[in-house]
């Protein structure tokens, strides 16, 4: 409906515990003929167990994922709607990665299976883009987005450009300049395997960690703040429409 070319990547992925995941990365491309393009991404799966829930009885239930998954997708769907009304000058791919959240903190590289698959098997070869922006947990209350270490290692210029734009817009209370945490998220594989400089806008800080609702039964719509979605959406939209 928004004028994109859609590619669905269907694949069976092997999870750390032997589970076979029927996975599907969903890719929407605008101006697919140009290499002057950027990548916007989020994960669309949610974790099938609330293993961080304070109440043991809840830990067998799936995470609703209002923030952890859906918030990033929501911002990208709104950007897709805007792009249909007014095309940016650059080409865009929105990639919704699957199988991000079926992992174990005990097993290296067990998260982000959909992005690992895409980075090794891009939907187009060679896949070229100027940079990428990953959105993860961008809808919670009292958000704090700091530049994480993977973003600053692989794509410092992009991170600085996005955080500077946020400051210009008056959002330096949300896009803070304190040092970000160290974490592996989908952007790590986009950087390390697909060679595209990619940053992560994620509610995460060293020492503090993820928001309190993370991987709990409380990751529900009532915990979403529309103002947070608006701030992140505005920053990404302003970055996108300034590109030539
Ligand atoms: C790890 O916990 C290893 N990575 C965090 C990626 C993640 C999970 N993002 C959302 N849920
Ligand atoms: Zn998660």
Q: Which ligand is nearest to the CA of 72?
A: 1
* Ligand 1 atom closest to residue 137's alpha carbon, by position in its atom list: 10
Q: Whose CA is nearest to atom 8 of ligand 1?
A: 101
Residues 6+ apart with CB under 8 A from 125: none
Using alpha carbons only, what angle is made at residue 189 by residues 4 and 128, rounded to the nearest 5 degrees?
Answer: 45
Which of 108, 111, 135, 214 has most ligand 1 atoms within 8 Å of CB, for mutation?
111
Q: Whose CA is nearest to atom 11 of ligand 1?
A: 101
* Ligand 1 atom closest to residue 47's alpha carbon, by position in its atom list: 11
Cα(210) to ligand 1 centroid in Å equals 9
Residue ranges lining ligand 1, Cβ < 6 Å: 68, 101, 105, 111, 136, 183-185
Q: Provide the pLDDT confidence category of residue 195 given band limits of 50, 70 and 90.
A: very high
Q: Whose CA is nearest to atom 10 of ligand 1?
A: 68
> Would you tell me how many other CB atoms lie within 10 Å of the CB of residue 243?
15
pLDDT at 179: 83
This prediction's pTM: 0.98
For residues 129-152, give the mean pLDDT: 98
Q: What is the pLDDT of residues 82-122, one digit of tens each?
A: 999 999 999 999 999 999 999 999 999 999 999 999 999 99
Q: CA–CA separation, 38 vs 205, rounded Å?
A: 26
Residue 80 has pLDDT above 90, yes or no: yes
Which of 69, 101, 114 has most ligand 1 atoms within 8 Å of CB, for mutation?
101
Q: Whose CA is nearest to atom 7 of ligand 1?
A: 185
Q: What is the pLDDT of residues 141-186, one digit of tens each?
A: 999 999 999 999 999 999 999 999 999 999 999 999 988 999 999 9
Say how many Å lie between the first and final Cα of the chain, rounded: 25
φ, ψ of residue 14 in degrees (nearest 5)? -95, 120
Q: Whose CA is nearest to atom 2 of ligand 1?
A: 105
Which of 63, 65, 68, 183 has most ligand 1 atoms within 8 Å of CB, for mutation?
183
Cα Rg of the chain (Å, integer)? 17
H-helix segments, 66-120: 72-85, 113-120
């Amino acid at each position: 409906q928004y004028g994109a070319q859609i590619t669905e990547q269907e694949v069976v992925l092997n999870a750390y515990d032997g589970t076979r995941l029927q996975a599907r990365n969903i890719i929407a491309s605008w101006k697919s003929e140009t290499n002057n393009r950027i990548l916007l991404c989020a994960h669309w799966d949610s974790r099938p167990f609330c293993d961080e829930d304070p109440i043991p009885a809840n830990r067998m239930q799936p995470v609703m994922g209002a923030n952890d998954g859906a918030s990033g997708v929501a911002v990208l769907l709104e950007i897709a709607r805007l792009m249909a009304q007014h095309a940016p000058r650059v080409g865009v791919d929105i990639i919704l990665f699957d199988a991000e959240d079926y992992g174990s903190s005990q097993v290296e590289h067990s998260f982000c299976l959909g992005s690992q698959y895409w980075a090794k098997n891009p939907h187009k070869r060679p896949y070229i883009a100027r940079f990428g922006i990953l959105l993860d947990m961008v809808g919670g209350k009292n958000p704090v987005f700091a530049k994480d270490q993977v973003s600053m290692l692989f794509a410092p210029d992009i991170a600085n450009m996005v955080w500077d734009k946020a400051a210009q817009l008056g959002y330096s209370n949300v896009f803070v300049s304190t040092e970000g945490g160290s974490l592996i998220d989908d952007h790590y594989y986009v950087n390390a395997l697909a060679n595209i400089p990619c940053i992560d806008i994620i509610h995460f800080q060293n020492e503090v960690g993820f928001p309190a609702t993370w991987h709990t039964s409380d990751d529900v719509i009532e915990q979403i703040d529309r103002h947070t979605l608006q701030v992140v959406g505005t920053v990404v939209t302003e970055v996108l429409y300034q590109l030539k």
